[in-house]
Amino acid sequence: MDVMKQAGALKERLVDFALSPRFARELDEAFERSHPDVLADSEVATSMIVDHFVLQQRLASGDTVIDRFLRAHPGLSPQEREMLLGWKDVVEGVFEVKEKDQDAVILFNLVDELTYRARSNMGESAFRTVGKGMFLICRLVPLGADWLVSAHISLFPAEARDELLIQAAEVALRNPELVFRNPDKLAAARRMLAEQREVFIEMYGAEYIVVPGEEVPSQYDAFMRACMDRAQPGNTFPSPSLTYSDEMPDAETVAIHFDPETGISFYLDFGLLQELFAAPSLINRRRYRETLTSYLRGDDISPAAIRLLADPDPDNAGVVFGKLLKKKNFSWPEHGESLLRRYKARHFETPRLPTTIPVSETMAELLRSFPPDGPSEP
């Protein structure tokens, strides 16, 4: 069978499987959680949510729809199994049409700045209205040396370039993993991160500081201004604004941590836990116990935060976690890493990527031209 027909037939079977009653509850939950980061109409947005659920979403059991499909269809050929597993590698973005090439289009992704030759299982008709210089918002999956359009397409005229550049920058800032498909972008981000870490340590003398919550915005602004001055002395660009939780300004203490692999993180009530790890008997008090539990179980808190607390005094850390977990012989040096891997599995399953995202100078100029809340609605 022709590879395009094989892909079309396989994708149809996979989607039918995903839309079966066995996944109804989890698919409904996916729709409730999803707010696509793209300028797309409702039909395209729906298609993208379903496509993400089918190809990428982790189910409650920890596997994916593709994993379930493979187990349910042991008679698939090796080529079909390889194709399905390859579809977990999804490219999302805002694409500029560079040219048409027979039944394919050559697309430049404004998010990762890589070029893709894309085809559709609908053949040339899928790109009949697509012209050079136009823009597509879509999802692509591997198809041999090419890429296959995996969900509905949103098509925009060339005149929408500025708006779509801003959209691409916002997608990149929210989803670093999409940018870092490009190894040059990842290398550039790591260089930026190393320079910023030097600035942080020069300013504060350590890789983290603990301050009252109300001081976090001013400390962050001073740090970012120092980074910008180092990169381009004398610049007058506004420093990036800080987006933070409603609880942060009222927090008694917040740790501002510059992780060498990811960048800036904020940990609320960190000072309280420092008191606990200095005096383990405080674990008997509810507030200390509940705060540490929230750190351990909180999916948004990096294992790095717990290491910062535990590593200075491993013996005290062993006592604290032994009492919290009711394990008499708990030892932080012996059991700490397995504890983190158990409670922070997501952080170990995915690469630790920089939160500093390099964008093109064109994008940067456009973003600087708009107020902090972003461009006004057209």
Q: At 65, which helix (H) or strand (E)?
A: helix 65-72
- Tell me the per-residue pLDDT of 245-260, one tens digit each, with 9 for 90 and over: 788 888 999 999 999 9
The distance from CA 364 to its chain's CA centroid, rounded to whole angstroms, is 20
Q: Give residue 33's identity as a one-letter amino acid code.
A: R
pLDDT at 72 over 50: yes
pLDDT of residue 376: 38
User: Would the CA dihedral through 346, 21, 149, 131 be positive or negative?
Assistant: negative
- Yes or no: say if 106 and 99 are a contact pair by the CB < 8 Å rule: yes
- Tell me the per-residue pLDDT of 132-145, one tens digit each, with 9 for 90 and over: 999 999 999 999 89
pLDDT of residue 247: 87
C-alpha–C-alpha distance, residues 62 and 59, integer Å:
5
pLDDT at 154 over 50: yes
- Tell me the per-residue pLDDT of 249-302, one tens digit each, with 9 for 90 and over: 889 999 999 999 999 999 999 999 999 999 999 999 999 999 999 999 998 899
C-alpha–C-alpha distance, residues 55 and 109, integer Å:
20
Percent residues over pLDDT 90 in the chain: 66
Domain locations in the chain as residue ranges: 3-86, 92-179, 183-349
pLDDT of residue 206: 95
Region 337-351: mean pLDDT is 90
Region 77-95: mean pLDDT is 94
Q: Which residues neighbour 216 within 8 Å (Cβ) at sequence distance 6 or greater?
A: 242, 244, 248, 249, 254, 256, 266
Predicted model pTM:
0.80
- Tell me the per-residue pLDDT of 11-22, one tens digit each, with 9 for 90 and over: 999 999 999 999
Q: What is the DSSP letter of 77?
A: -
- Yes or no: say if 154 and 136 are a contact pair by the CB < 8 Å rule: yes
SS3 content of the chain, % helix, strand, coil (to 5): 55, 15, 35
User: Would the CA dihedral through 169, 172, 178, 179 be positive or negative?
Assistant: positive
C-alpha–C-alpha distance, residues 94 and 164, integer Å:
7
- Tell me the per-residue pLDDT of 29-43, one tens digit each, with 9 for 90 and over: 988 887 655 555 577
C-alpha–C-alpha distance, residues 76 and 84, integer Å:
10
Q: Homologous superfamily of 92-179 in CATH?
A: Nucleic acid-binding proteins (2.40.50.140)
C-alpha–C-alpha distance, residues 66 and 13, integer Å:
11
C-alpha–C-alpha distance, residues 55 and 67, integer Å:
9
pLDDT at 234 over 90: no
